[in-house]
Amino acid sequence: DAKTTQPTSMDCAEGRAANLPCNHSTISGNEYVYWYRQIHSQGPQYIIHGLKNNETNEMASLIITEDRKSSTLILPHATLRDTAVYYCIVRVKVQAAGNKLTFGGGTRVLVKP
Amino acid sequence: NAGVTQTPKFRILKIGQSMTLQCTQDMNHNYMYWYRQDPGMGLKLIYYSVGAGITDKGEVPNGYNVSRSTTEDFPLRLELAAPSQTSVYFCASSYPAGAGELFFGEGSRLTVL
C-alpha cells in the first residue's frame, strides 16, 4: 500500500470548515484513499473513501487532485466533537487476503470554541 | 446490532500471566482483525482472519495467538505477558466486498506489571 504524509496537528475554529491535507504521491491506479478518525481512546471510525472523483457523505467531503497524488478531507462545519486524530490511508479497495489497514501517525485536529 | 464487542474493557496482568481478549461481531463479517495501539502511536496489526478456520500474522504477531472457530468470534490470546504488551487492543471486522471499511470495537486496555 502507498505511503501517506499528513501534518502532525492542526487547529480549527468551531463552525468553520476544517481542511485536512494528505499527500500520497506513490499511489497506484487501483488504490483508494480512505479516511478514518479516532476520537479520544475510542476505536477508529470510518469517514469516507474515494478513487478519483470527489466524494461527499453526511460526515465529510473528500477532494482528490486530478493526478491523485494528494487529497483533502473537508469537515464543512467543525464542532467540538470533531476533535480527533484523522488518518489518511491508501489501499486497494477489497482484498481477498483481508482489507487490512496500515495506520500512520495521522493528524491531531483540535476544534476550538 | 451491537457491532463489534470486546471484553474485558480493562485488565491488569502480572508478568508471565496469560489471558484471552474476547471479540465478537454480529454483522456476519468474514474478515476480522486485531490491532494494538501504544500511547501516542498509530494502530499496528497483530493478526487477522478472512474466515472461520483461517488466520494469518500481521505486523506484530510475536507473543500472541488467535483462533477463529466461528464467523462471529475472534479471540486474542496473550501467553506469558510482558510489560511490552501494555497497550490498547482493538478488534475490527469488515465485509470482503463493498467499501471494505473496517468497524472497530471500543478497545481493551491492558496493563502488564
Q: Is the pLDDT of residue A94 over 70?
A: no
CB contact (8 A) between residue A101 and residue B43: yes
Contact by Cβ (8 Å): B23, B32: yes
pLDDT band at residue A1 under the 50/70/90 scheme: low
CB contact (8 A) between residue B107 and residue A41: yes
Contact by Cβ (8 Å): B3, B92: no
* Site from A5, A100, A103, A107 to mutate, B interface, most B CB atoms within 10 angstroms: A100
Give CB contacts under 8 A, 24+ apart, made by B59-66: B60/B36, B64/B34, B66/B34
Q: For residue B67, what pLDDT is reported?
A: 95
Q: For residue A104, what pLDDT is reported?
A: 87
pLDDT digits (tens, 9 = 90+) for A32-72: 999 999 998 899 999 999 999 899 999 999 999 999 999 99
Interface contact A87, partner B, CB < 8 A? yes
- Percent of chain A scoring above 70 in pLDDT: 96
Which of B50, B90, B94 is opposite residue A97, by nearest beta carbon? B50
Q: For residue A2, what pLDDT is reported?
A: 66
> How far apart, in whole angstroms, are the C-alpha atoms of residue A35 and residue A48?
6
**What's the mean per-residue pLDDT of chain A?**
92
CB contact (8 A) between residue A100 and residue B45: yes
User: Minimal CA–CA distance to A22: which of A30, A32, A111?
Assistant: A32
Torsion of CA A82, A9, B109, B20, to 10 degrees: 100
Pairs of CB atoms within 8 A across A/B: 67
Per CB-CB distance under 8 Å, the chain B contacts of A44 are: 43, 90, 92, 102, 104
Q: Is the pLDDT of residue A20 over 70?
A: yes
CB contact (8 A) between residue B96 and residue A99: yes
Contact by Cβ (8 Å): A93, A101: no
- Percent of chain A scoring above 90 in pLDDT: 78
One digit per residue, the tens of pLDDT, for chain B of length 113 reads 789 999 999 999 999 999 999 999 999 999 999 999 998 888 999 999 999 999 999 999 999 999 999 999 999 999 899 999 999 999 999 987 777 789 999 999 999 99
Residue labelled with grid coordinates 500512520:
A104
Which of B92, B100, B107 is opposite residue A93, by nearest beta carbon? B100
Q: Computed from CA positions of residues A50, A53, A58, A61, in that sequence, does the dihedral angle turn out positive or negative?
A: positive
